Amino acid sequence: MEEPRAVTIHDVATRAGVAVSSVSRALSSHPDVSPAMKAKVFAAAEELGYTPDPGAQSLRSGFTRTIGFVVRDFANPFFGDIIHGVEEALNDAGYTLLVTNSSGDPGREVDRLTLLRQRKVDALLLSSISEASTRTSKAVAGFTRPVVLIDRDPRKLKAGSVLLDHAQGVRDATADLIALGHRRIAMITGSTAIRPTRERLRGYTEAFEAAGIPIDEALQAPGAFSAAFARETTERLLALPPAERPTAIVAGGVQTTIGVLEAFSELGLRPGDDVSLVVCDDLPWLRVMRPRLSVVTRDAEEMGRQAAGLALELIKGGEPRSVTLPTAYEVRETSRPVSV
Amino acid sequence: MEEPRAVTIHDVATRAGVAVSSVSRALSSHPDVSPAMKAKVFAAAEELGYTPDPGAQSLRSGFTRTIGFVVRDFANPFFGDIIHGVEEALNDAGYTLLVTNSSGDPGREVDRLTLLRQRKVDALLLSSISEASTRTSKAVAGFTRPVVLIDRDPRKLKAGSVLLDHAQGVRDATADLIALGHRRIAMITGSTAIRPTRERLRGYTEAFEAAGIPIDEALQAPGAFSAAFARETTERLLALPPAERPTAIVAGGVQTTIGVLEAFSELGLRPGDDVSLVVCDDLPWLRVMRPRLSVVTRDAEEMGRQAAGLALELIKGGEPRSVTLPTAYEVRETSRPVSV
DNA sequence: AGCTCGGGTGGAAATGATTCCATTCTTGCG
DNA sequence: CGCAAGAATGGAATCATTTCCACCCGAGCT
């Protein structure tokens, strides 16, 4: 119960026989401090096992050495990997990560943002629910500290960003399916309110244009990032008459993938047999799925590391910039020639 | 760039024409404060849009309204769900969650613990890598604030705990397999250094004892929580001569499940056909696996909520106690009669 | 030699809140 | 009617640190 009164900078000063201000300077490697003083102070600090109080430091300096991150969903392994990468890079730099969860609720998102501002985080990482939300934009614009967006368009925001080149991977995947003879390729994705969906649709469109083949608009199905939506859409499309029914499907996002797979098994279809399937976002459990799904991969941990790096760069006064990481189409077992 | 000088308690005091101390009392609903004063202060605070500075508050009071949580692995959806539950309950109570990741490295775990202590979290949630680690125990014992363990034995630690009744689910599963005629049932789990593994082994053993059937020690294979270990073990066991080879497998944990499934598909086996399979920890993607695996389920989010509740209870001065949540065996498609 | 410049140091203010203590003002009771 | 008790308030100390400012002193210049 009895809190054992931590050792303060004052104790170190007394021990070393110098002033508190000198201790502070010595420890924070201020230019104007003699080697002798530095040695004395370090010795005393060492003996007493002194560690500065982050609370007091931040009260005075205004900086918390903490970086905030608002994610949509903790349980999504994609974010798990990103967070992992962020934390790793941040800890190396002596920063702490404060992650928080919007649960996909815009109101809660704004709420979490204001919390982080109150807590005076030195920078903000954000992968917002919707790029169109005015409330979120306002909350972000209210930040006086650096902001880094994860896989979101900076738009008017003066923010750094780490982006994925979704278009690349999806373009390659679509082109491959076209080469395999597919013409009716469905694109099932989440909300166009965020960049990944738009980019995937762009890659899809570009592949068709490059091949000089017209696109069947009815087979582009953006909507919501939920398994339920993806499942319903897939079931609807696969129920179309043979002449309109897609022979291949490209699915974007983790939840979408799950929904599409639910639909397949509901209809008793095996991916790759009648209908080819390419999914985005590689995941650990895809390794144990049979058949092995063709996939558009990306390095989520690297995204996290890059985001952390950008944030630290901005804190040091750098100008906001954008980093784009590649995605890659990886053929496995469910990209098959169209069955005639 | 120019930080817009936040409004302080002093500004509110001036605005309301009262003393700072009165503002503090009014806002923290101190008993000795007149309704008139309270009204004045609230009005002024409202007009100025005052929010107290958490840093300053914690410097003075010693409490941060923050709770720390050290997990082994962010990307594991099991922890994702727990964190989700914790955060939900904590936010409702006006607390903030500070999650951090040990990546399964004991040194890093100790490191993260000391970080949280420095940051003066009001309570600590911990799901340690090993219950046997002296360094971790010491670091935890060094906490003067309440500690709640997640699915770990408190042992000598004076800590609250949220436990899962793993034994129950595994006992039911094993009993069912025995009833289906299985005698050689393998138990593939992680390290016995943590409670879940020990409890699962206990459930397994009890089921055999209840049936009066001797256990083949060679089929109990605890080891490490990694897909690689589980995979190798599974392949080794399934390569045994027919008379010794297990006819059913119970797998514990997420990584273990993945490893076992890898082994199955490597060997070209379908779970449930030749070898029955029950896995622990229900996961979203198990819904899309075919065949649908029989599973021992549990409510991870509820664990999180309970843990948060316990922590808040301890902060208020309650005595450490233990909460146990059930697990349940759910038959799906891979608990089959032994094939003769 | 005297003066300036600047490196090195100590003292004290400031950061934004809580809380103790003293003070004032009622009010009730003898 | 006077006095004590207690409610309500203000002032100041406190939390642990950073940073501004003043000071001292030695070196270099005129």
Contact call for B80 and A99, based on CB within 8 A:
no
Q: Which residue of A has its CA nearest to B63?
A: A55
Chain A contact present for B262, CB below 8 A: yes
How far is A53 from chain B, CA to nearest CA, in Å? 7
Work out the number of other CB atoms within 10 angstroms of the CB of residue A31.
5
How far is B209 from chain A, CA to nearest CA, in Å? 34
In a domain, A3, yes or no: no
In a domain, B332, yes or no: no
* B218 and B291 fall within a common domain: yes
Interatomic distance B28 CA / C29 C1' (Å): 34
* Contact residues, chain A, for B119 at CB < 8 Å: 54, 96
Interatomic distance A47 CA / C9 C1' (Å): 23
Residue A5 pLDDT > 90, yes or no? no
Residue B221 pLDDT > 90, yes or no? no
In a domain, B172, yes or no: yes
In a domain, B70, yes or no: yes
Average pLDDT over residues A13-26: 94
Average pLDDT over residues A31-41: 91
* The predicted structure's pLDDT at residue A30: 87
Q: Tens of pLDDT along A265-279?
A: 999 999 999 999 999
Contact call for A59 and B53, based on CB within 8 A:
yes
Model confidence band, residue B3 (pLDDT cutoffs 50, 70, 90): low
* A261 and A173 fall within a common domain: yes
Q: Within window 8-67 on A, which residues have Cβ closer than 7 Å to strand D?
A: 8-10, 20-21, 23-25, 27-28, 50-53, 56-57, 59-61
If one compares B142 and A87, the residue with the highest pLDDT of the two is A87
* Contact residues, chain B, for A100 at CB < 8 Å: 87, 96-97
* A142 and A257 fall within a common domain: no
Cα end-to-end span (Å), chain B: 77
* B120 and B170 fall within a common domain: no
Q: Which domain holds residue A259?
A: 166-298
* The predicted structure's pLDDT at residue A130: 92
Average pLDDT value for chain B? 93
For chain A, percent helix, then strand, then coil, each to nearest 5? 45, 15, 40
* Contact residues, chain B, for A251 at CB < 8 Å: none
* B57 and B160 fall within a common domain: no
In a domain, A207, yes or no: yes
- A71-75, A291-295, A318-322, range with the lowest pLDDT: A71-75
Query: Closest by alpha carbon to A101, among B48, B31, B87?
Result: B87
3-class secondary-structure state, position B280? strand
* Contact residues, chain A, for B101 at CB < 8 Å: 83-84, 87
Percent of chain A with pLDDT over 90: 87
* A187 and A73 fall within a common domain: no
* B46 and B90 fall within a common domain: no
Give the integer Cα–Cα distance in Å for B190 and B226. Answer: 7
Contact call for A258 and B284, based on CB within 8 A:
yes
Q: Which residue of B has its CA nearest to A61?
A: B55
Interatomic distance B319 CA / D8 C1' (Å): 36
Tally of domains within chain A: 3
* B293 and B176 fall within a common domain: yes
List the alpha helices (DSSP H) in chain A.
9-16, 20-27, 35-48, 54-61, 77-92, 106-118, 134-141, 166-179, 195-211, 227-238, 254-266, 300-315
Model confidence band, residue A214 (pLDDT cutoffs 50, 70, 90): very high
In a domain, B32, yes or no: yes
Q: Which residue of B has its CA nearest to A261?
A: B288
Contact call for B285 and A258, based on CB within 8 A:
yes
DSSP state of A288: T
Q: Which of B255, B269, B288 is best to mutate for the A interface (most A CBs within 10 A)?
A: B288
Average pLDDT over residues B136-164: 93
Residue A142 pLDDT > 90, yes or no? no
* The predicted structure's pLDDT at residue B75: 83
* The predicted structure's pLDDT at residue A1: 42
Q: Is the CB of B286 under 7 A from strand D?
A: no
**H helix or E strand, kind and range, residue B27:** helix B20-27
Q: Which residue of A has its CA nearest to B301?
A: A75
CATH number of the domain within which A42 lies: 1.10.260.40
Residue A90 pLDDT > 90, yes or no? yes
* B280 and B183 fall within a common domain: yes
Alpha-carbon distance values, B237 to A289, B248, B277 (Å):
22, 11, 14
Average pLDDT over residues A46-50: 94
**Residue B168, Ramachandran bin (φ over 0: left; ψ between -120 and 50: alpha; else beta):** alpha
- B28-32, B107-111, B122-126, B317-321, range with the lowest pLDDT: B28-32
CATH number of the domain within which A263 lies: 3.40.50.2300
Q: Tens of pLDDT along B280-306?
A: 999 989 989 989 999 999 999 999 999
* Contact residues, chain B, for A96 at CB < 8 Å: 98, 100, 115, 119
In a domain, B128, yes or no: yes
Domain boundary among A22, A38, A61: A61
pTM exceeds cut of 0.85: yes
Give the integer Cα–Cα distance in Å for B85 and B77. Answer: 12
Chain A contact present for B120, CB below 8 A: yes
Q: Tens of pLDDT along B151-205?
A: 999 888 889 999 999 999 999 999 999 999 999 999 999 999 999 999 999 999 9
Average pLDDT over residues A303-318: 96
Cβ atoms of A43 and A27 within 8 Å: the answer is: no
* B293 and B308 fall within a common domain: no
* The predicted structure's pLDDT at residue B1: 41
How far is B6 from chain A, CA to nearest CA, in Å? 10
Q: Which of residues 137-166 of B touch A (CB under 8 A)?
A: 144
* A193 and A227 fall within a common domain: yes
Nearest-CB residue to A288 (from B75, B76, B265): B265
* Contact residues, chain A, for B4 at CB < 8 Å: 144
Query: Closest by alpha carbon to B296, among B244, B241, B256, B238?
Result: B256
* A170 and A294 fall within a common domain: yes
Chain A contact present for B99, CB below 8 A: yes
In a domain, A283, yes or no: yes
* The predicted structure's pLDDT at residue B67: 97
Cβ atoms of A267 and A235 within 8 Å: the answer is: yes
Interatomic distance A39 CA / C7 C1' (Å): 17
Nucleotides of D under 7 A from a protein CB: 7-20
